[in-house]
């Protein structure tokens, strides 16, 4: 396939939206895995279903989403109220006449050989538009871990990839044929999927003390959650550890923390691109219960303390991590300090949690999903993975 004509290359269409960071990052992780394993033998497109094609006011959903989740109780109420097979179908059915023209435009503008959706609101309108027509295989990759919404699951989907067995069971409850659902894992960037390695060497490279455990405190790209109160509580407790705080894009929070007189060695960062190295160098992660961060920590064998979750959507994430022994639930700074104290003064308990992380990790998820997509294209016999 030297210098192939772009008109002859298979086309893969990814449907996502920046309503939460997980959808884009999952799509990008799969695309990265396709390139790593199969090279540049495909034309790959990413379409934000809301921003690029939805009618007013739905095209503002990426901007509205951060405001919506700032009222967790309201978000949880809406999530649970619509989370049944019947109610989800009513919701999508009533919305279809309004979005029908936009969906037809999306299909017309993006001819492809396989469609991969990483967003729960993509399947129903597109599969309804394509119904009774010859169309490419439609694959859904579910990016919620456990308490998955009924909107993820549509009976006309050709294949649904889920991250956990509980998510598979929910797919069947919500009307999908069992043979169409496969438990693979949540796709994350390849940088988060390498073996953990020697944390001491990584600490040295990052300029962190090597004689104390490192607590990594994060709140997502926007520095959300009680980061400031938690960092101060950890400092005042005088724990035998170093503290690394990631404030993300929250510049004001970074400046306040940099001006704080911490009682233990503390390192303050803004938005960083070295999070895989940070996770492999740290000994304990303190974070919100986002599915992507949880899976990245599992791959790094990094035990975690979860301090917040999005009601409804992330409730199951907490239960999953705690029940598997990979972490603790501590919704207040005081409970976080108590959990940290247990793991720092009883390091064998921390090691048990680290082993649980490695046991349930699925670092090959992105590459396995990439293989599934290529198989759907019918090229699995002619385009083989690189030996890496």
Residue 367 contacts residue 31 (beta carbons within 8 Å): no
Average pLDDT over residues 301-326: 97
Share of the chain above pLDDT 70, in %: 94
Q: Is the model's pLDDT at 110 over the cut of 90?
A: yes
- In this prediction, residue 67 carries a pLDDT of 87
User: Looking at residues 160-171, what average pLDDT do you find?
Assistant: 98
Looking at residue 224, its pLDDT comes to 57
39, pLDDT greater than 70: yes
Give the residue among 370, 319, 14, 318 at the shortest CA–CA distance from 185.
370
Split at pLDDT 50, 70, 90, the class of 3 is: very low
Domain 6-188+364-377 identical in fold to domain 194-360: yes
Read off the pLDDT band of 220 (50, 70, 90).
low
Count, residues in the chain: 388
What's the pLDDT band for 314 if we cut at 50, 70, 90? Answer: very high
Q: What 3-state DSSP class applies to 350? A: helix
Is 190 a residue whose pLDDT tops 80? yes
pLDDT of residue 6: 67
Each domain of the chain, given as residue ranges in start order, spans 6-188+364-377, 194-360
Cα separation values, 64 from 68, 219, 283, 301, Å = 6, 19, 36, 35
Q: What tokens does 256 get? A: 């306040």
**The token pair that represents 111 in the structure block:** 């001819």
Tokens of 31: 């695309």
Architecture field, domain 6-188+364-377: 3-Layer(aba) Sandwich (3.40)
Residue 66: what pLDDT?
Answer: 86
pLDDT computed for residue 388 by the predictor: 36
For residue 381, name the pLDDT band (cuts at 50, 70, 90): very low
- How large is the C-alpha radius of gyration of the chain? 22
Q: CA dist 210 to 114, 116, 205, 262, Å?
A: 48, 44, 10, 18
Taking the C-alpha atoms of residue 14 and residue 370, their distance in angstroms, rounded to an integer, is: 12
Query: So what CATH class is 194-360?
Result: alpha beta
Q: Provide, for the chain, the percentages of residues in helix, strand and coil under a 3-state DSSP scheme, each rounded to the nearest 5.
A: 50, 15, 40
């Amino acid at each position: 396939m030297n210098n192939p004509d772009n008109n002859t290359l298979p086309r893969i269409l990814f449907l996502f939206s920046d309503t939460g960071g997980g959808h884009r990052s999952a799509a990008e992780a799969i695309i990265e895995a396709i390139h790593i394993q199969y090279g540049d033998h495909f034309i790959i497109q990413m379409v934000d279903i809301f921003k690029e094609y939805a009618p007013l006011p739905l095209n503002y959903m990426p901007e509205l989403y951060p405001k919506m989740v700032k009222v967790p109780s309201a978000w949880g109420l809406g999530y649970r109220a619509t989370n049944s097979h019947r109610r989800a179908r009513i919701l999508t059915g009533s919305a279809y006449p309004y979005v029908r023209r936009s969906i037809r435009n999306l299909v017309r503008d993006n001819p492809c050989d396989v469609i991969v959706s990483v967003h729960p609101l993509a399947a129903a309108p597109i599969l309804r538009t394509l119904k009774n027509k010859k169309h490419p295989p439609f694959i859904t990759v579910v990016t919620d871990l456990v308490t998955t919404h009924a909107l993820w699951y549509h009976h006309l989907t050709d294949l649904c990839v889920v991250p956990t067995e509980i998510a598979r069971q929910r797919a069947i409850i919500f009307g999908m044929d069992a043979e169409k659902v496969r438990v693979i894992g949540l796709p994350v960037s390849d940088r988060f999927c390498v073996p953990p390695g020697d944390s001491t060497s990584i600490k040295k490279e990052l300029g962190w003390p090597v004689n104390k455990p490192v607590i990594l405190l994060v709140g997502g790209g926007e520095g959300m959650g009680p980061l400031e109160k938690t960092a101060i509580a950890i400092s005042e407790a005088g724990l035998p550890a170093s503290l690394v705080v990631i404030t993300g894009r929250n510049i004001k929070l970074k400046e306040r923390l940099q001006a704080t007189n911490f009682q233990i060695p503390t390192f303050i960062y803004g938005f960083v691109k070295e999070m895989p190295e940070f996770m492999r160098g740290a000994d304990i992660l303190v974070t919100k219960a986002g599915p992507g961060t949880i899976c990245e920590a599992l791959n790094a064998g990094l035990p975690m303390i979860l301090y917040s979750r999005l009601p409804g959507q992330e409730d199951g994430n907490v239960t999953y991590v705690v029940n598997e022994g990979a972490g603790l639930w501590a919704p207040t700074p005081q409970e976080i300090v108590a959990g940290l104290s247990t793991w720092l003064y009883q390091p064998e308990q921390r090691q048990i949690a680290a082993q649980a992380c490695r046991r349930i990790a699925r670092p090959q998820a992105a590459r396995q999903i990439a293989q599934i997509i290529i198989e759907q294209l019918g090229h699995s016999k002619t385009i083989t993975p690189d030996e890496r």
